[in-house]
């Protein structure tokens, strides 16, 4: 559960990075909780965190995620973060900074971050194409 907790808290960091919870972000996050089979009580915990008027400690959460998550799993965290950043239709600099902070704390160089950012933006494009393919009737 620690792995999923880290993942969901990172998603909350991305959502709250610009201090606004957009409808698309909220919908994606709530669907994520359901699709992951998160219990009702745990869903309430994450909802409280998401809708709290207190800002999240992005530095502490990205540090914990960087410490806990193996490099082999980092692409899945970054993919999720890019998808969450794009959930409202626009990726903001504050959201990119959360991803950058996570990668820096995980030991990635600024040059590598630039490549990861390019990859993440391409991932968004491919994912949108995939969603369209699976949503069209055969």
Of 63, 56, 60, residue with least CA distance to 103: 63
pLDDT band, very low/low/confident/very high, at 131 (cuts 50, 70, 90): confident
pLDDT category, 137, cuts 50, 70, 90?
A: low
Q: Once rounded to an integer, what is the mean pLDDT over residues 70-77?
A: 94
pLDDT at 104: 97
State residue 7's pLDDT score: 97
Domains of the chain (ranges; CATH) run 2-135 (1.10.3680)
Answering whether pTM is above 0.85, one says yes
End-to-end Cα spacing for the chain: 38
């Amino acid at each position: 559960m620690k792995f999923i907790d880290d993942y969901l808290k990172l998603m909350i960091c991305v959502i709250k990075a610009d201090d606004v919870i957009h409808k698309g972000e909220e919908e994606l996050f709530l669907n994520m909780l359901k699709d992951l089979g998160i219990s009702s009580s745990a869903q309430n915990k994450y909802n409280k965190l998401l809708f709290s008027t207190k800002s999240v400690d992005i530095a502490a959460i990205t540090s914990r995620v960087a410490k806990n998550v193996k490099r082999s799993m980092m692409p899945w965290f970054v993919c999720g973060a890019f998808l969450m950043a794009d959930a409202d239709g626009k990726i903001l600099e504050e959201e990119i900074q959360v991803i950058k902070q996570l990668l820096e704390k995980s030991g990635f160089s600024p040059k590598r971050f630039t490549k990861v950012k390019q990859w993440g933006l391409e991932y968004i494009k491919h994912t949108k194409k995939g969603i369209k393919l699976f949503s069209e009737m055969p």
